[in-house]
Chain A
Amino acid sequence: METELPTLLGLPLLAWIPLFPLLGALINLTLGSRLSKRSIHWIACCTVVASCGIAGYVVFGPLWEQYKAGNGGVGITQTVYTWLEAGGFKAELAFRLDTLSAVMIIVVTFVGSWIHIYSIGYMHEESDKSYARYFGYLNLFTGAMLILVLAANMPVMFIGWEGVGLCSFLLIGFWYDNEAYATAGRKAFVVNRIGDFCFLLGMFLLFWATKTLDFAQLKDQATAGPEFIQPFWGGERLAAAAGIFLFIGACGKSAQLPLFVWLPDAMAGPTPVSALIHAATMVTAGVYMVCRLSFLYASSTTALIVVSTVGMLTALAAAFMAFAQTDLKKVLAYSTVSQLGFMFVAAGTGNWVFAIFHLGTHAFFKACLFLGAGSVMHGMHAGGAHDTVTQGDITKMGGLRTAMPITRITFWISCLAIAGIPPLSGFFSKDEILAGAWGAEPPGWTIWYGKLLWAGLVVAALGTAFYMWRLYFLVFSGNARSEYARKAKESPISMTLPLVALAFFAAVGGALALPHFFHMPGWYPSLVAWLDPSVTLDWYPGTVLIHGELSDVTTLVLMSGATLIAAIGIGLAWMFYGHGPSPSLPKVVDELGPIYEASKHKLWFDEIYDAAIVRPFRVVARGLYEIVDRFIIDTVAVNGAAFVVGLFGRLSRWIQNGQVQRYLAGIVVGAAAIFLVTDCHQKPDFDYHRVGDQVEFDAHPGAGIVGQTAKLEWDFDGDGKPDVDANGRPLTASVVMKRPGDVGSSVTLWVEDPISHERVAVTHDITLPGPGPGDEQP
């Protein structure tokens, strides 16, 4: 049953959710340089808050009622207009709200609103122009992200997909006069392009196979039609090919192995941007997309295995790389990559709901952590550190717990959450993912596969707990290790208020989906029940539900195990960093040696890419520059074109000399040429064809002097002399009808020029066509 939504100012209400931030972006980017800072941030914040308000209304109003009525999976679709229509392809600018996108818009608008408010304090030192630019981009990003999550079909999703990529580029390179930052922006853009290209390929593949890109129709085909299990790529299913292509796109956007390299560099942007884009929202787009297309991935075990394996490896690698980082934000960036890996493992084991759940809780605690990091940097700045490298250097911090109490408390809560300590939100979401991985039994794969995933994730979780608490201890515990840290001050209320709000949700967010025990009363309806209708539960016949059901005991054991792991990680961190870096640390680092180096240099990924891709690419580009650009385009095309034009100019200057007489000579010569050409190419000839029971001979005396006035003579009987008619006169007509019996084996036509008396003879051997209508001569 469809639920109708009202329209606002002639546009569907759903369209206003992304439209509000986009309008704010339009105003700030066009008129921003003339507005005061006050009006700029009021416009930016109000549009996002308005969008949040509408999102809240549509989710807790109409959608809630629909859900209550038991139609959770139906959703609400609103079409603005038909965007593209070409042949069988039709893309409408349509928005779809269901329980899945509802979670996303709430997270995006809610976290986004807090980050907008936080930015007022954080960015207040920017010049007026940059201030407007910053808020314009931030609004643009929010709008694009909302388009992405609300899209009802893949082309519209792609608008948002590209839009957030663009905003990411713009905001990473926000301080573009710093060369390194601008390079980081470019890197993010280029790496994202690789993913986007594969996303497009997957999209085209889906359209090619199913002739539609609308999510609802795709889902119908996946569950009802055979398209998705058609063989493709040597027996593999179509769903596997499309799914893997789309997942590579998700890898680019969500910073998964091997396309994660841009995210640590993306920390060049302002910290609120890192919080909003590179932690809470944009990077989760890939996870959202996989969950949105759950029906596609559910049709192919291979695609799921790829997703979960890549997720697990990323979680491990990123956790490992985070150990040795000394930049506050980089640690958080690797932690983000690692947590995104967790989400992909959940998605790859069919636990769509928990992927989204972890996405939500992660958005809260990671946003809080990033904003806390921003607050710390702001405090360091107040303490006298002016360049962003020093501001974020954790080796120069320490002892900030007294100077920045609010920041410290919120950071503490979020660190507990990300480490997975009950009862904070991160515990529940991470535990569900671990449990799901443990129970995964993909058909055709070893039963140890799930356990392997689980083991990898547990190690990653241990790492997470360790490096996050290392970070916490280094920043807040011990004594100040620099002058700046000693003089650091707490941030203004516009920055601490969002911290408190986000920390609150990071703490209690887990209540949305408490673990479900078979033998204990669960909180139903919870987020699980809310999301279930939107992600697929109908697995295509032939595939098996790969996330197995766990007994209560297993669940409890796993839970305690996860908690224990987190506690061990925190304990280790305490051991080494509890009161500042412990004296034994250099010895440990020495012993670890190459492992430490590998972590510090993020497994040399950048170096490998540089050697394997960037340098050969540069050589090819250099060659193309020399050959294609310098030689073919510059020399041959540009100068060559100019040379040819000049040549013809010089030639025609000889003719076009302004003398009318020479032009007239041209006209006369042209006229003569026309006659000459027509004279030369028409020789006298004749043809014949049957008309009824007679044969018609048509003479073509030719043009020119031997032309229409020529004297014709025929010889039909083949005696070599011109024939005469019954009256004894020569046959001179140009069209002669003869009975077939009167015609000999060859016919001759003489054409005589009346002026010069030149005689031309044309002789053809005659093979008479059989009687029949419309026969032509041979």
Chain B
Amino acid sequence: MGFLLHIGYGHFLALSAVLFLIGVGGVLLRRNALIILMSVELMLNAANITLVTFARMWGGAGAMSAHTFALIVIGVAAAEASAGLAIVVAVFRGRRSVEVDKLTVLRH
């Protein structure tokens, strides 16, 4: 069980993969729009972990760009959360529900 004791970069990447797939599962299985938004945040964070891990792995001053990129991702996530939550609020106001499978107006 050496992999438990000796932590390599692969462990961090595997962690990010697990987090990402849990996020996918949330989007896939849940019907509450808020949970789905949170799951998306989770996926973005998993991607960020990958970015930071690779920055550490390659090292050097140039790897700071990965951190910058992760910052940008955090910014995008913030923007997405604000817009997404606004939409959720607007939808809730109109339809008294935030369950995504009930939002079928555009289907017909």
Contacts and interface: CB of A to CB of B under 8 A. Distances in A.
Nearest to A667: B24
A664 B24 contact: yes
Contact of A668 (B28, B100, B101): B28
B106 A665 contact: no
B24 A668 contact: yes
The A interface, classified by DSSP as helix, strand, loop or mixed, is helix
B107 A661 contact: no
Interface in A636-689: 657-661, 664-665, 668
A592 interface: no
Given A658-B106, A658-B107, A664 B27 contact: yes
A755 interface: yes
B104 A658 contact: yes
Nearest to B31: A661
A739 B68 CA distance: 53
Interface string A411-452: 000000000000000000000000000000000000000000
Contacts of A659: 100-101
A661 B104 contact: no
A251 to B, nearest CB: 69
Contacts of B106: 658
B58 interface: no
Contacts of B31: 661
Contacts of B24: 664, 668
* Range of interface residues on A (Cβ < 8 Å): under 10
Nearest to B10: A709
A660 B104 contact: no
Nearest to A663: B28
Interface in B76-108: 100-101, 104, 106-107
B93 to A, nearest CB: 21
Contact of B3 (A657, A660, A664, A755): A755
A664 B106 CA distance: 19
B28 A664 contact: yes
A660 B101 CA distance: 9
Interface in B1-36: 3, 24, 27-29, 31
Residue of B31, B101, B104, B106 with highest tally of chain A CB at under 10 A: B101
A664 B40 CA distance: 12
A661 B27 contact: yes
B3 A661 contact: no
A668 B27 CA distance: 11
Nearest to A665: B28
Nearest to A657: B107
A665 B101 CA distance: 14
B80 to A, nearest CB: 15
A140 B4 CA distance: 94
A668 B29 CA distance: 12
B13 to A, nearest CB: 13
B41 to A, nearest CB: 16
A742 B101 CA distance: 69
Contacts of A661: 27-29, 31, 100-101
A660 B31 CA distance: 11
Nearest to A664: B28
B102 to A, nearest CB: 11
A665 B27 CA distance: 9
Contacts of B28: 661, 664-665, 668
Contacts of B101: 659, 661
Contacts of A660: 100
Contacts of B29: 661
Contacts of A668: 24, 28
Contacts of A657: 107
A359 B101 CA distance: 88
Interface string A548-591: 00000000000000000000000000000000000000000000
Nearest to A668: B24
Nearest to A661: B28
A674 to B, nearest CB: 15
Nearest to B2: A754
Interface in A744-768: 755
B59 to A, nearest CB: 22
A659 B3 CA distance: 40
Residue of A661, A665, A755 with highest tally of chain B CB at under 10 A: A661
Contacts of A665: 28
Nearest to A658: B107
A661 B103 CA distance: 12
A665 to B, nearest CB: 6
Nearest to B3: A755
B11 to A, nearest CB: 13
A230 B93 CA distance: 93
A658 B106 CA distance: 9
A99 to B, nearest CB: 81
B17 to A, nearest CB: 11
A657 B100 CA distance: 13
A659 B101 CA distance: 7
Contacts of B107: 657-658
A260 B101 CA distance: 78
B45 to A, nearest CB: 18
A642 B106 CA distance: 27
A97 to B, nearest CB: 74
Contacts of A664: 24, 27-28
Contacts of A755: 3
B33 to A, nearest CB: 11
Contacts of B104: 658
Given A658-B107, A659-B101, A660-B100, 11 more contacts: A657-B107, A658-B104, A661-B28, A661-B29, A661-B31, A664-B24, A664-B28, A665-B28, A668-B24, A668-B28, A755-B3
13 contacts: A658-B107, A659-B100, A659-B101, A660-B100, A661-B27, A661-B28, A661-B29, A661-B100, A661-B101, A664-B24, A664-B27, A665-B28, A668-B28
**3 interchain residue pairs of minimum CB distance:** A658-B107, A664-B28, A661-B28
